[in-house]
């Protein structure tokens, strides 16, 4: 709202200004300093923040004679609240400004010749109006503050999100069969009205809380605004009955626009918002690819129109719907003379737009064989096609597939992957900005080191038999034997098939019991030997659960057959297949790839949510626009747009580009090919809409098949490249190996190792961290810190071995200030450094030199 005196909206003022209170006292005093100053101060009576007590407005002018200062001190009734002022320089109209050098908010300095009395009279006149402004401002501001607290409450957005989900669910119920359920129809209408009112109030509240400029400065708010306005238009149309006017057929389309309502959930789901923001940043690149496709395909479209325009017409038998032979009707005139149908397929090259659609089908390899056959069979216009009469036209499609499909469409994948890589560089850690590629590798290695710490080793039992079982179960050969048995178990389970003989079934059942016995014995031995340490390992917990389920399945198999479906009993056997995952533990490369895939699951889940949201919106539009089309080609009893479930099935199929051309064909049926709608007789008709159908399906294929599905490829390729880089560099498995062997040298988990054991420890490690003996010179070159008590810190040793690994790979690690900062956090220890392996080696070398010199001197002296 406008403030008094023609001012602009106060919503755009700075919140740091102070507004007038509910009552004000005006005092006019003379400063006596020969300068005429006009200053208005509006202060709170109660204690507020210091920023709330700053001068509201300051305007100084120079005049003749004495000076005056106007002070407005306000005392708020009740609790005082700081508020922005409604008045700015434009709020004082020219005719109401006092013609004096002392006036409120004067825009320019000017010499005044009027007397001081006249000047003060103008000031008092304006003060009365300013007090009214203060009262209005305060009340309006207090209302805004209360609304803002509501809007910014943590449960407000959550509640709106719940309402969006519920309202979207109600849209899914508006299917073809809704007219048969009047109660549900009335309920949905009432709910739609309620949701529209609530969302409208939400928008108004945000206008009042944040102001117009801030609200419309957010692109997500624009999306909310458009969707809410569509809902309001639909509501007004239903209230005034304009939706039934024949001239307003667009109301059906506007009602379908409610399908955009789920888009409001985007800004409230952080995962989807991240994906959408990534897509928004990729829009310029994607648009460039589309532009390249349009320009490149335009050449083939013009060529297609020139070669095939009007030549796809054919003579069709109205009884069978099949094309008659050339002998029965050689041209259009003979076809019509025999009371046959001269028909043109909906996919043709009669104009450039139709040619684009035909080429899009060819590029996606859906229905392109029939298009190519029609082109190869074409002759002159108004002549019946003949099999391969124009056989050289095959080359046209071969060249287009190579250049128009293999090259241009695959640009989408390249653009999306390249955009993801660019965003990764831009959103990299703040430290990585100042690092070279080699330094980044070392930095990532240090981050992995930071997550690892040595733990107390599993103690060997003192009981003799228990100690023997401990040595047996922790032996690598024992694990290797169990892995071999797991492989045999998987092979035996794979032999089971439908229709197998009774003898084979019995043999497989006996072998299954043998394997269960072996795995049970393994579990018992490990629990007996390792005690409570057994349950610290996740793989052991998995084995324990599988073994218990297997035993339970065998014990209850005969009893459960009478009460439970045999299919449910096989679930236990299926769970046992998961035991094969233990084989992955010994395959380092496969384990790294699986770990990379697991790391990409959150991103893939976000993309999956976005794909479902797009499918949901298109399903709502599909039900609204095509629920009544006749069933033929790709539309049948299962794949149709009559219900939400069937619509989702169709759209999921089309997202893989499967048979989308078959679905498009019946949706393009015009009034001549279907039953026309007759509102007077309550006949909805079975016609589609060619223009809407083409835009609907082509846009869906582009958004899902060419963009969103390719985002899966981009994420997987990114994680795959990261996994390959990890395989060639140090991985988490290497650090786990380091700490597993560390436990043997430091069973109490002190994180320190005597220097005397350092050589044996690095020799006991596995590649790539192992330094075989003799390694004294190499350890001296690593310059590892040695602390009080001649102890070496585990992280110092690991860091030195990591640097040694990168040096062996030819990677130059230059530690800058940023890496030093990370190193200082990584190498924190309560002990004081005494020396290093390098200095200690030098000391030993110097000691030997001195010792040899001393011995030589003694021999020379004859001692």
Taking only the tens place, the pLDDT of each residue in 540-584 is 888 888 888 888 777 776 655 555 555 555 666 666 666 666 666
Residue 174, domain member (yes or no):
yes
Task: Verify that 660 and 677 share a domain, yes or no.
Answer: yes
pLDDT at 310 over 70: yes
Task: Verify that 338 and 479 share a domain, yes or no.
Answer: no
Q: Whole-angstrom Cα distance, residue 657 to residue 40?
A: 70
Burial of 72 (0-12, 13-18, 19+ CB in 10 A): buried
CA-nearest of 256, 186, 269 to 227 is: 256
The encoded tokens of residue 718 equal: 């990114």
CA-nearest of 706, 667, 76 to 410 is: 706
CA-nearest of 167, 156, 174 to 192 is: 167
Question: Which range of residues forms the domain containing residue 511?
Answer: 464-586
Residue 111, domain member (yes or no):
no
Between helices 352-363 and 270-308, what is the axis angle to 10°? 120
Q: Whole-angstrom Cα distance, residue 673 to residue 609?
A: 38
pLDDT of residue 569: 56
Q: CB within 8 A of 130, min separation 6: which ones?
A: 20, 40, 72, 87, 104
CA-nearest of 525, 409, 542, 513 to 471 is: 525
Average pLDDT over residues 329-353: 90
Instruction: Check which CATH number belongs to the domain holding 571 and give it.
Output: 1.20.120.350
Task: Verify that 717 and 761 share a domain, yes or no.
Answer: no
The encoded tokens of residue 451 equal: 């997550």
Task: Verify that 738 and 720 share a domain, yes or no.
Answer: no
CA-nearest of 453, 431, 448 to 819 is: 431
Task: Verify that 563 and 529 share a domain, yes or no.
Answer: yes
Q: Which residue stretches of 173-269 are H helix?
A: 182-210, 212-215, 219-240, 250-256
**In which band, very low, low, confident or very high, does the pLDDT at 352 lie, cut at 50, 70 and 90?**
very high
φ, ψ of residue 8 to 5 degrees: the values are: -80, 170
Residue 84, domain member (yes or no):
no
φ, ψ of residue 112 to 5 degrees: the values are: -115, 140
Q: Whole-angstrom Cα distance, residue 692 to residue 697?
A: 9
Q: Whole-angstrom Cα distance, residue 546 to residue 573?
A: 9
What are 399-414's pLDDT values in tens digits?
999 988 888 888 888 8
What are 762-808's pLDDT values in tens digits?
888 887 788 888 888 888 888 888 888 888 888 888 888 888 887 77
Residue 755, domain member (yes or no):
yes
Cross-strand pairs, 811: none
Residue 364, domain member (yes or no):
yes
Average pLDDT over residues 7-19: 37
Residue 691, domain member (yes or no):
yes
What is the secondary structure of 47-84 as a DSSP string?
A: ---GGGGS-SEEEE---SS---EEEEEE--SSS-----
Task: Verify that 708 and 620 share a domain, yes or no.
Answer: yes
Q: Are the beta carbons of 349 and 336 closer than 8 angstroms?
A: no
Collapsing DSSP to helix, strand or coil, 836 comes out as: strand
pLDDT at 275 over 90: no
Q: Whole-angstrom Cα distance, residue 339 to residue 316?
A: 10
pLDDT at 81 over 50: no
Instruction: Check which CATH number belongs to the domain holding 382 and give it.
Output: 1.10.287
pLDDT at 526 over 70: yes
**Domain closes at, from 560, 586, 612:** 586
Cross-strand pairs, 316: 323, 341
Q: Whole-angstrom Cα distance, residue 574 to residue 572?
A: 5
Residue 96, domain member (yes or no):
no
Average pLDDT over residues 499-521: 89
Tokens 């001393």 -> residue:
854
Q: CB within 8 A of 402, min separation 6: which ones?
A: none
Q: Whole-angstrom Cα distance, residue 198 to residue 232?
A: 11
pLDDT at 831 over 60: yes
Residue 134, domain member (yes or no):
no
Q: What distance lies between CA 597 and its chain's CA centroid?
A: 16
The encoded tokens of residue 141 equal: 């501001």
The DSSP secondary-structure symbol of 658 reads T
Instruction: Check which CATH number belongs to the domain holding 600 and give it.
Output: 1.10.287.70
Collapsing DSSP to helix, strand or coil, 31 comes out as: coil
**Domain closes at, from 586, 616, 634:** 586
pLDDT of residue 740: 80
The DSSP secondary-structure symbol of 257 reads G
Could you give the angle at the alpha carbon of 355 between the alpha carbons of 354 and 360, nearest 5°?
Answer: 100
CA-nearest of 595, 661, 601, 670 to 630 is: 670
Burial of 249 (0-12, 13-18, 19+ CB in 10 A): exposed
How many other C-beta atoms are found inside a 10 Å radius of the C-beta of residue 29? Answer: 10
The DSSP secondary-structure symbol of 323 reads B
Task: Verify that 475 and 563 share a domain, yes or no.
Answer: yes
- E strand or H helix at 26: strand 24-29
**In which band, very low, low, confident or very high, does the pLDDT at 299 lie, cut at 50, 70 and 90?**
very high
pLDDT at 78 over 80: no
In total, how many domains does the chain have?
A: 5
Q: Are the beta carbons of 649 and 682 closer than 8 angstroms?
A: no
Peptide bond into 2 cis (omega under 30): no
**In which band, very low, low, confident or very high, does the pLDDT at 212 lie, cut at 50, 70 and 90?**
confident
pLDDT of residue 55: 36
What are 587-603's pLDDT values in tens digits?
666 666 776 677 777 88
Q: Whole-angstrom Cα distance, residue 666 to residue 312?
A: 19
Instruction: Check which CATH number belongs to the domain holding 827 and give it.
Output: 1.10.238.10
What are 147-177's pLDDT values in tens digits?
888 888 888 888 888 888 898 888 888 888 8
Q: Whole-angstrom Cα distance, residue 430 to residue 610?
A: 29
Collapsing DSSP to helix, strand or coil, 248 comes out as: coil
Q: Whole-angstrom Cα distance, residue 280 to residue 267?
A: 13
What is the secondary structure of 749-789 as a DSSP string?
A: --SEEEGGGHHHHHHHSPTTT--PSS-HHHHHHHT-EEETT
pLDDT of residue 427: 53
- What is the pTM assigned to this prediction? 0.67
Q: With DSSP H G I counted as helix, E B as strand and the rest as coil, what are the percentages for the chain, rounded to 5?
A: 65, 5, 30
Task: Verify that 395 and 510 share a domain, yes or no.
Answer: no
Task: Verify that 539 and 567 share a domain, yes or no.
Answer: yes
Task: Verify that 219 and 308 share a domain, yes or no.
Answer: no
Task: Verify that 288 and 345 share a domain, yes or no.
Answer: yes
Measuring CA to CA, how many Å separate 236 from each of 189, 204, 723?
13, 18, 57
Task: Verify that 258 and 298 share a domain, yes or no.
Answer: no
**Long-range contact list for 847-851, CB < 8 A, 24+ apart?**
none
- The mean of the pLDDT values for the chain is 74
Q: Whole-angstrom Cα distance, residue 313 to residue 336?
A: 13
The residue ranking higher by pLDDT, 374 or 136, is: 374
The DSSP secondary-structure symbol of 707 reads I
Burial of 436 (0-12, 13-18, 19+ CB in 10 A): middle
What is the secondary structure of 563-627 as a DSSP string?
A: TS-HHHHHHHHHHHHGGGGGGGGG-HHHHHHHHHHHHTHHHHHHHHHHHHHHHHHHHHHHHHHHT
**Domain closes at, from 217, 249, 268:** 268
How many percent of the chain have pLDDT more than 70?
A: 68
């Amino acid at each position: 709202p406008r403030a008094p005196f023609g001012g602009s909206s106060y919503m755009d003022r700075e919140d740091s200004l102070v507004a007038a209170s509910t009552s004000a006292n005006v005092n006019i005093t003379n400063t006596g300093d020969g300068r005429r100053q006009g200053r208005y101060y509006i202060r709170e009576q109660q204690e507020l923040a210091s920023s709330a007590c700053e001068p509201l407005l300051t305007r100084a002018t120079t005049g003749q004679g004495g000076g005056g200062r106007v002070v407005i001190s306000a005392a708020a009734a009740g609790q005082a609240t700081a508020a922005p002022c409604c008045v700015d320089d434009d709020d004082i109209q020219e005719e109401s400004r006092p013609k004096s050098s002392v006036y409120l908010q004067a825009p320019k300095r000017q010499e005044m010749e009027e007397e001081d009395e006249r000047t003060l009279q103008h000031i008092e006149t304006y003060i009365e109006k300013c007090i009214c402004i203060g009262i209005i401002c305060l009340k309006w501001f207090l209302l805004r503050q209360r609304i803002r607290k509501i809007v910014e409450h943590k449960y407000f957005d959550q509640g709106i999100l719940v309402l969006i989900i519920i309202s979207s669910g109600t849209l899914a119920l508006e299917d073809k069969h809704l007219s048969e359920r009047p109660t549900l129809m009335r309920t949905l209408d009432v709910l739609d009205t309620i949701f529209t009112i609530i969302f409208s109030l939400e928008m108004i509240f945000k206008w009042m809380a944040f102001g117009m400029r801030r609200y419309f400065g957010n692109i997500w708010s624009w999306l909310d605004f458009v969707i809410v306005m569509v809902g309001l238009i639909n509501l007004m149309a239903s209230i005034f009955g304009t939706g039934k006017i024949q001239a307003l057929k667009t109301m059906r389309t506007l009602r379908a626009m409610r399908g955009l309502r789920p888009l409001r959930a985007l800004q409230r789901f952080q995962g989807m918002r991240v994906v959408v923001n990534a897509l928004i940043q990729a829009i310029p690149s994607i648009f460039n690819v589309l532009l390249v496709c349009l320009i490149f395909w335009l050449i083939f479209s013009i060529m297609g129109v020139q070669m095939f325009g009007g030549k796809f017409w054919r003579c069709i038998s109205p009884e069978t719907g099949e094309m008659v032979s050339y002998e029965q009707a050689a041209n259009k005139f003979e076809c019509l003379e025999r009371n046959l149908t001269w028909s043109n397929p909906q996919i043709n090259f009669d104009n450039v737009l139709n040619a684009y659609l035909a080429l899009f089908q060819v590029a996606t390899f859906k229905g392109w064989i029939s298009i190519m056959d029609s082109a190869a069979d074409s002759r002159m216009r108004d002549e019946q096609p003949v099999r391969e009469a124009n056989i050289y036209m095959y080359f046209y499609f071969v060249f287009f597939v190579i250049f128009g499909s293999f090259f241009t469409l695959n640009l989408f994948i390249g653009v999306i992957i390249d955009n993801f890589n660019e965003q990764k560089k831009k959103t990299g850690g703040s430290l990585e900005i100042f690092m070279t590629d080699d330094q980044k590798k070392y930095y990532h290695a240090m981050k992995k080191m930071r997550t690892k710490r040595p733990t107390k080793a599993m103690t060997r039992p003192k009981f003799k038999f228990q100690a023997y079982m401990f040595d047996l179960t922790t032996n690598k050969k024992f694990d290797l034997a169990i892995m071999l048995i797991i492989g045999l178990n998987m092979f035996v389970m794979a032999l089971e098939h439908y229709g197998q003989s009774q003898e084979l079934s019995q043999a497989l059942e006996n072998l299954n019991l043998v394997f269960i016995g072996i795995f049970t014995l393994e579990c018992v031995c490990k629990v007996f030997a390792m005690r409570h340490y057994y349950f610290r390992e996740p793989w052991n917990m998995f084995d324990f659960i599988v073994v218990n389920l297997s035993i339970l399945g065998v014990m209850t198999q005969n009893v459960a057959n009478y009460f439970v479906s045999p299919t449910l009993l096989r679930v236990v056997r299926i769970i046992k297949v998961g035991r094969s995952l233990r084989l992955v533990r010994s395959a380092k490369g496969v384990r790294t790839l699986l770990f990379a895939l697991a790391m990409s699951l959150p991103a893939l889940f976000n993309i999956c949510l976005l794909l479902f949201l797009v499918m949901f919106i298109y399903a709502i539009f599909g039900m609204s626009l095509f629920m009544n089309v006749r069933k033929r080609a790709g539309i049948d009893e299962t794949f149709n747009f009559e219900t939400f479930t069937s619509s989702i099935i169709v759209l999921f199929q089309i997202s893989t580009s499967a048979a989308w051309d078959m679905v498009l064909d019946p949706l393009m049926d015009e009034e001549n090919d279907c039953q026309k709608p007759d509102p007077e007789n309550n006949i909805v008709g079975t016609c589609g809409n060619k223009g809407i159908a083409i835009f609907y399906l082509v846009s869906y294929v582009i958004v899902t098949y060419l963009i969103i599905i390719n985002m899966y490829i981009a994420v997987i390729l990114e994680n795959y490249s990261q996994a390959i880089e990890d395989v060639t560099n140090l991985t988490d498995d290497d650090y786990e190996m380091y700490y597993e062997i560390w436990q043997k040298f430091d069973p109490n988990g002190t994180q320190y190792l005597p220097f005397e054991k350092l050589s044996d420890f690095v020799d006991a490690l596995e590649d790539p961290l192992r330094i075989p003996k003799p390694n004294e010179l190499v350890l001296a070159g690593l310059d590892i810190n040695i602390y009080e008590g001649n102890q070496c810190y585990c992280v110092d040793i690991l860091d030195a071995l990591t640097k040694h690994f990168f040096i062996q790979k030819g990677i130059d690690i230059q530690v800058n200030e940023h890496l030093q900062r990370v190193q200082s956090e990584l190498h924190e220890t309560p002990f004081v450094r005494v020396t290093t392996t390098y200095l200690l080696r030098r000391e030993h070398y110097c000691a030997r030199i001195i010792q040899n010199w001393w011995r030589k001197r003694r021999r020379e002296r004859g001692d």
